[in-house]
């Protein structure tokens, strides 16, 4: 029987591929989607990747796929795999190239009515002029060798120590903006060179800085705890570890390919190349991955500081009147060591999230103290023409998905397909007709990232909300966007 014939719908939002589908599967594959999204999902090879991941040594519960799933390298984007640190593996392909690609949201005291179209254009232009964006873009900080090592050790804390932010920012960042156990010596010289001049730069592709407003509140008490209210201006940043993280992944995929043979690991797909978690190769990758994750948190911290400076200058407001402060910052592509209950026992797992977001519930120690009463903020960006969402983590996510949920809309078209669909169109003018001002380093990026290239994020969010693995708090509508 084919894979499609082996997919069983469990309920309105859950589907499963039995572990009996292939002899190599150690756990089932579980997909979160409604029927409409499932019709799109089965059109690429991402479900085969879900099945392949189900064969990884030490995998627990299920190979998970969120509703924004699409085909990726090894593990699909939108995939979650948790492996036992005792006898399991660790895999760069199940983490992704852009290590700690993630999202940061800041709130302000400004209302939508305070930024009319002319001022909005000035503001977007100023952001574009002051935040380096695009392929190979360089930040305005050139790191010495010692500073670079400090960034990889300390993450966002290094940036704050240099005067680019506050301790409150760190308190509202996943892991405090720093993974302990990072080792700069595990990062190659080539990765160092690629990252040395890129701190404080946005990058290209789907990375962005976006001015938004709160269009709708779904949960007033939780929104109030997050500091969000109707018609409020917010700012969202989506970026990662730039060339440094990409090189770390590239370097360790090569090492892991050799480790597969050395440790006699049988895999259905060599893109899932891995090593035993406690092996020298596995531990070396974990240290390098943490270093790249710390670089990404430092990068987003600096990007947010630059954006804050632009808003204060263009709007001619004091810091107090602007009221610019961070809501939260979270990672999408990362491995975290976490304790979860499996078959009634609490065990330590290496949770690989690739295009997936943590979603811890109220009361959990992983939730920042300021939000612990209501749960962790979950930030879900959409495409630049529709909307983004703020959700909150739930006990059900902790029980079912290793406290994980979706990370965005997920691609609907490949970049090549998007370019073909956008031929002859002026995407920036189409968006401006909707009242959205966009600046980018080239028309190619806008065509690759046009709204139709992505699934409708509202459909994706409705699935995770309906499944109860994160709940809607607020909808954010874009006003101005800068892209790489």
Q: How far is CA 427 from the centre of its chain?
A: 25
Decide if 333 contacts 96 (C-beta within 8 A): yes
The pTM assigned to this predicted structure is 0.97
Strands 345-354 and 7-9: unpaired
Calculate mean pLDDT across residues 467-471: 98
Residue 316: Cβ-neighbour burial (10 angstroms; 0-12, 13-18, 19+): exposed
Residue 62 has pLDDT above 90, yes or no: yes
With bands split at pLDDT 50, 70 and 90, how would you rate the model's confidence at 123? Answer: very high
Calculate mean pLDDT across residues 205-216: 96
Decide if 229 contacts 220 (C-beta within 8 A): no
d(CA 428, CA 311): 22
CATH of the domain at 58: 3.90.1860.10
Q: Write down the pLDDT at residue 33.
A: 98
Q: Write down the pLDDT at residue 190.
A: 97
Residue 134 has pLDDT above 80, yes or no: no
Q: For residue 181, give the 3-state DSSP assignment.
A: coil
Residue 108 within a domain? yes
pLDDT tens, residue by residue, 156-210:
999 999 999 999 999 999 999 999 999 999 999 999 999 999 999 998 889 999 9
Q: Write down the pLDDT at residue 142.
A: 82
The conformational region for residue 210 under phi > 0 = left, psi -120 to 50 = alpha, else beta, is beta
Phi first, then psi, for residue 472 (nearest 5°) are -65, 135
Residue 48 has pLDDT above 80, yes or no: yes
d(CA 410, CA 395): 25
Strands 63-70 and 29-32: parallel
- 31-40, 319-328, 353-362, 433-442: least confidently modelled range: 433-442
Residue 94 within a domain? no
Q: Write down the pLDDT at residue 141.
A: 84
d(CA 293, CA 284): 14
pLDDT tens, residue by residue, 305-358:
999 999 999 999 999 999 999 999 999 999 999 999 999 999 999 999 999 999
Question: What range does the domain containing 36 cover?
Answer: 4-87+100-483
Q: Write down the pLDDT at residue 407.
A: 98
Calculate mean pLDDT across residues 14-29: 96
Residue 222 has pLDDT above 80, yes or no: yes
Of the candidates 329, 307, 13, the residue with the CA atom closest to the CA atom of residue 174:
329
Q: Write down the pLDDT at residue 251.
A: 98
d(CA 201, CA 196): 11
Calculate mean pLDDT across residues 378-403: 97
Mean pLDDT of all residues in the chain?
95
Q: Write down the pLDDT at residue 53.
A: 98
Q: Write down the pLDDT at residue 301.
A: 98
Q: Which of 407, 428, 443, 465 is catalytic?
A: 407
Share of the chain above pLDDT 70, in %: 100
Residue 95 within a domain? no
Calculate mean pLDDT across residues 119-132: 95
Residue 223 has pLDDT above 80, yes or no: yes
Is 246 considered catalytic here? no
Share of the chain above pLDDT 90, in %: 87
Q: Write down the pLDDT at residue 344.
A: 95
Count how many domains the chain has.
1
Q: Write down the pLDDT at residue 238.
A: 97
Residue 93 within a domain? no
Residue 442 has pLDDT above 80, yes or no: no
């Amino acid at each position: 029987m084919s894979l499609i014939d082996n997919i069983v719908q469990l309920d309105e939002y859950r589907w499963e591929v039995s572990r009996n589908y292939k002899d190599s599967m150690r756990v089932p594959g579980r997909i979160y989607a409604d029927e409409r999204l499932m019709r799109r999902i089965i059109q690429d090879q991402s479900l085969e990747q879900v099945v392949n991941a189900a064969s990884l040594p030490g995998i627990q519960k299920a190979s998970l796929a969120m509703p924004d799933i699409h085909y990726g390298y090894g593990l699909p984007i939108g995939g979650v795999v948790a492996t036992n640190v005792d006898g399991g593996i660790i895999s760069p392909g199940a983490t992704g190239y852009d290590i700690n690609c993630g999202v940061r949201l800041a709130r302000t005291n400004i209302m939508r009515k305070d930024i009319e179209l002319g001022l909005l254009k000035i503001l977007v232009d100023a952001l574009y002029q002051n935040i380096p964006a695009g392929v190979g873009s360089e930040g305005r900080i050139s790191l010495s060798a010692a500073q670079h090592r400090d960034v990889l050790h300390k993450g966002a804390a290094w940036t704050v120590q240099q005067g680019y932010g506050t301790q409150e920012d760190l308190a509202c960042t996943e892991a405090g903006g720093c993974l302990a156990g990072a080792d700069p010596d595990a990062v190659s010289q080539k990765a160092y060179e690629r990252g040395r001049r890129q701190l404080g730069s946005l990058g290209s592709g789907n990375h962005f800085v976006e001015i938004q407003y709160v269009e709708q509140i779904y949960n007033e008490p939780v929104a109030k705890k997050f500091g969000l209210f109707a018609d409020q201006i917010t700012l969202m940043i989506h970026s990662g570890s730039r060339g440094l993280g990409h090189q770390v992944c590239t370097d360790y995929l090569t090492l892991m390919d050799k480790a597969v043979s050395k440790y006699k690991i049988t895999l259905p797909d060599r893109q899932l190349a891995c090593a035993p978690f406690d092996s020298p190769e596995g531990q070396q990758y974990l240290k390098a991955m943490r270093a790249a994750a710390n670089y990404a948190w430092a990068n987003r911290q600096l990007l947010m500081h630059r954006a804050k400076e632009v808003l204060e200058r263009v709007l001619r407001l004091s810091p107090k009147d602007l009221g610019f402060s961070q809501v939260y910052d979270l990672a999408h592509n990362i491995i975290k060591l976490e304790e979860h209950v499996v078959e009634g026992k609490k065990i330590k797992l290496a949770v690989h999230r690739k295009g997936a977001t943590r979603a811890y519930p109220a009361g959990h120690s992983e939730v920042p103290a300021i939000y612990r009463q209501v749960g962790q903020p979950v930030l879900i960006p959409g495409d630049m023409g529709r909307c983004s969402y703020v959700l909150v983590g739930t006990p059900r996510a902790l029980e079912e998905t290793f406290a994980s949920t979706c990370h965005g809309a997920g691609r609907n078209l490949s970049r090549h397909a998007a370019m073909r669909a956008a031929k002859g169109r002026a995407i920036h003018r189409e968006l401006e007709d909707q009242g959205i001002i966009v600046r980018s380093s080239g028309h190619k990026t806008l065509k690759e990232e046009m709204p139709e290239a992505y699934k409708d994020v509202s459909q994706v969010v409705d699935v995770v909300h309906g499944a109860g693995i994160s709940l809607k708090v607020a909808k954010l509508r874009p006003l101005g966007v800068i892209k790489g």
